[in-house]
Amino acid sequence: MYDAILAESVQFAGANGDLLEGYSARPLDATARGGVVVIHHLPGYDRETKEFVRRFAVMGYNAVCPNLYTRLAPGASHDDAAAEARAQGGVPDEQVVGDVAGAAAYLRALSNSNGKIGVIGHCSGGRHTFLISTELPIDAGVVCYGGLIVGEPVPQMKSMVPLVDRATKVQSPLLGLFGNDDKFPTPEQVDVLEKALTEAGKEHEFHRYDGAGHAFFSPDRPSYRVEAAVDGWQRIDGFFAKHLAR
């Protein structure tokens, strides 16, 4: 089996036609396959997020992560860029939508694309994934412990508004992965989200893990929970295999 992948920094147009930096990993095999947009978390376009991108390529997908902080801090290290974004109150939702649309267009233009697109994000990226599922015609969305989909807005982060009232606009099946010890979102907030999706008749599949809190997928943090992460990756693999038709 030919299993070579290529991982590299790329550029493509995002919101308003702005040139964005992205990190791409893709199989070199010419067989048509789906694409995955990985949305980085608030701490930025970091090494661990890039590892997620490479993992999706190994799983057989073309993958890319747009650097949502390209404009704020061009060329800066990911932690300095994240600090800049924090100081400026985050990035506007409409800009994220345009940037992810650009990343999806990049993936669809690849010669081995089958045209299908999945989106995944953790933490603030989970919230962004829900947002994208309401705004763009994607084929699958994976929300990993996305906070502030349900709840009260945080005054200091003006770009982060709750989104649950947009459940009727969801355009793709959603996979939700949550820790029962999480405080943001709490299990009660996950209940509210699940109820809203059910009432709106939207296809979704939620899995919740005991003994896991926020960021249980992060192998470089004390919050890592191997049982939840291993099961979660299996759920992601099955969900994308079903909806992106490798």
For another protein, the binding residues (CB under 8 A) are: 41-43, 46, 72-73, 76-77, 79-84, 86-87, 89-90, 123-124, 147-148, 154, 156-157, 160, 182-184, 213-215, 221-223
Upper half-sphere CA count for residue 113 (Cβ side, 13 Å): 17
201 vs 222, which CB is nearer to another protein?
222
Amino acid at 215: A
42 vs 65, which CB is nearer to another protein?
42
**Strand ranges of the sheet holding 204-209, from the earlier edge strand across to the other edge:** 5-13, 19-27, 62-66, 33-39, 113-122, 140-144, 174-179, 204-209
In the complex, minimum distance from the CB of residue 218 to another protein, in angstroms, rounded to a whole number: 8
- Please answer whether residues 236 and 142 qualify as being in contact, where contact means their C-beta atoms are separated by less than 8 angstroms: yes
88 vs 112, which CB is nearer to another protein?
88
155 vs 201, which CB is nearer to another protein?
155
**Which of 175, 160, 164 is closest to 217 using CA atoms?**
175
In the complex, minimum distance from the CB of residue 239 to another protein, in angstroms, rounded to a whole number: 23
35 vs 121, which CB is nearer to another protein?
121
- Please answer whether residues 144 and 120 qualify as being in contact, where contact means their C-beta atoms are separated by less than 8 angstroms: yes
In the complex, minimum distance from the CB of residue 9 to another protein, in angstroms, rounded to a whole number: 18
- Please answer whether residues 244 and 116 qualify as being in contact, where contact means their C-beta atoms are separated by less than 8 angstroms: yes
In the complex, minimum distance from the CB of residue 184 to another protein, in angstroms, rounded to a whole number: 4
Q: In degrees rounded to 5, what are phi and psi of residue 244?
A: -105, -5
In the complex, minimum distance from the CB of residue 125 to another protein, in angstroms, rounded to a whole number: 10
